[in-house]
Amino acid sequence: MDANGHSLRDQIAVVTGGGQSLGLEIGRALKTAGAKVVVAEINAETGEQAAEELEGDFVQVDVTDPESVRDMVGAVLDRHGKIDVLVNNAGVVHNIPSEEVPDEEWRKVMSVNLDGVFWCCREAGKAMLERGSGAIVNVASMSGVISNHPQPQSAYNASKAGVIMLTKSLAGEWASRGVRVNAVSPGYIRTPLTELGMSKEEWSRVWLESTPLGRLAEPDEIAPAVVFLASDAASYATGTNLLVDGGYTSW
């Protein structure tokens, strides 16, 4: 282990939604820290490409389906015998005025962003609790702490607030049994989805003016926070929600 405890050498790290964007960047950071990365992704094409780049494994999973999650965890355990780190990164968003949100759209956001995080925590958590060690990092959002504007996204905000409270609840339950559970809450990150929002002048102006650093984050500015919470450098941190938002929530 390196001097500051950030090494993940010989650890097995599972990243959901790990095939692209922030998930891929998290996988890169975990690999650099020494972990063997398992890309857990619904998209076989991007998942396999990411696994090849990371010299890791790909396991297809639909996080909204508890059976699929059980199969994914079982496949990782069959292959590697353990899960040291779980990063719940898979997520979706829509920007629909709340009074117009169709039932199925609300359920879709909740199914991926909140239900999926719980299914993955529950199944990987069982294996971690049996071994008496493990670290879970849930990718929440500053949207779980504040209500974004001017875009409408009540479902996303509610789902991420749920992830933060789920993180705290699991941390309290599992701390005495060797499993730490933390969350990283990014602000606006430069991703294809955010670039679409940035193309709308009304949105981009408010986003940047509301962020003290005055810019979007790059994905590689968020990934190190995940590595920190996954590593022994954060051995006394559990139930933490680490905001990495360019100062957005400081105003």
Phi, psi values for residue 179, rounded to 5°: -115, 125
Instruction: State the burial class of residue 227 (Cβ atoms within 10 Å of its Cβ: 0-12, 13-18, 19+).
Output: buried
The structure tokens listed for 67 are 């059976």
Report how far residue 178's alpha carbon sits from residue 182's, in angstroms, rounded to the nearest whole number. Answer: 13
Q: Is 188 a catalytic residue?
A: no
From the list 156, 188, 236, 248, the catalytic residue is 156
Cα–Cα dist 97/65, whole Å:
27
Closest CA to 188 of 165, 169, 202, 209: 209
Q: Which residues are catalytic?
A: 156
